[in-house]
Structure 1
């Protein structure tokens, strides 16, 4: 018998001052057995920092091959934002950038290695694709604080992310790089 996904619930209080987004919402996040806690945290952060009407986690989850981990659809169902997590290959990012009006990558890995792996490869509108990363210890600390039921407060202001998860309070600069 295969092991199923672990469901984590989050009551989120989001204050993204940089974008003028202030929302309270509930999330159910399925963590696939092959998914690391750090990957799931990065996926959750991407969802919150990209939050807008129409945002969803991909239907196939982390095992989906034809959709990113997070995407935004307009009212007609058209994909308007393609948001990858981790270290997508250049061909996948090229496809997503062509399909959607906007593409972004959130990584918990070394962003310089990721950017180097894309060097010399064709990526549609690479200069417009933002790669965001955080201080490595930040993602690790949030991952250690995860529970099955979570209260999460996220504040983003002037390029810094402040996060409270249960009794854990951490902060990190949001590093931005360009794919091209």
Structure 2
């Protein structure tokens, strides 16, 4: 019998003073049996970075042809394609041809090696790559609960994610 996903719910309030974006989002995230809490929370941070009412979590690990998140316009056309981790270069190139904006949110110890190995990504003008620091992904895991109430404050480039019992400073580096 196959293992099923574990469902997490997050009420995320975003106050991004840098870009004047404010919103409340009720998110449902499915933790795939092979997925870590770290990756689950990175997906949540990826949502926060590109937050929009039309942005959706996909089947991702259940369906390898989908990214972690995507946004479609009213006609069903893909607008944003957001990958989490260190995706295959060919998958990113295909997404780049299909979407206006492609983003990759990387984390972990193998990012530098992955980025060097996938040097053709640098030629894609609509692809941006963001790296989360190890301290950020470690700290954000402490906020993870099956039901989360989270407040994200962004001011002067400083990201602070606040939960019921802890808070985490999120450090982003734009690689591309």
TM-score by length of 1: 0.90
Unaligned ranges ≥5, structure 2: none
Aligned partner of 1:76 in structure 2 is: 75
CA distance in 2, matches of 1:124, 1:101: 16
Paired residues in the alignment total: 175
Mapping 1:24-63, distance limit 5 Å: 24-58=24-58, 60-63=59-62
Q: Tell me whether 47-56 or 82-91 shows the greater mean CA deviation.
A: 47-56
CA–CA distance in 2 between the matches of 1:170 and 1:124?
A: 31
For 1:117-175, what per-residue CA distance to the aligned partner results, in whole angstroms no more than 9, with x for missing partners?
A: 202x3x48524421112220211121133111111111223332111122111213221
The CA RMSD measured in Å over matched residues stands at: 1.7
Q: Determine the C-alpha separation between the residues in 1 that align with 2:161 and 2:67.
A: 24
For 1:176 and 1:159, the matched residues in 2 are separated by 12
Asked if the contact 1:55–1:71 (Cα under 8 Å) also holds between the matched residues in 2, the reply is yes
CA distance in 1, matches of 2:55, 2:123: 22
TM-score by length of 2: 0.92
**Aligned positions of 1:1-180 closer than 5 A:** 1-58=1-58, 60-110=59-109, 111-119=111-119, 121=120, 123=121, 126-178=124-176
CA shift at 1:13, angstroms? 0.7
List alignment gaps of at least 5 residues for structure 1.
Answer: none
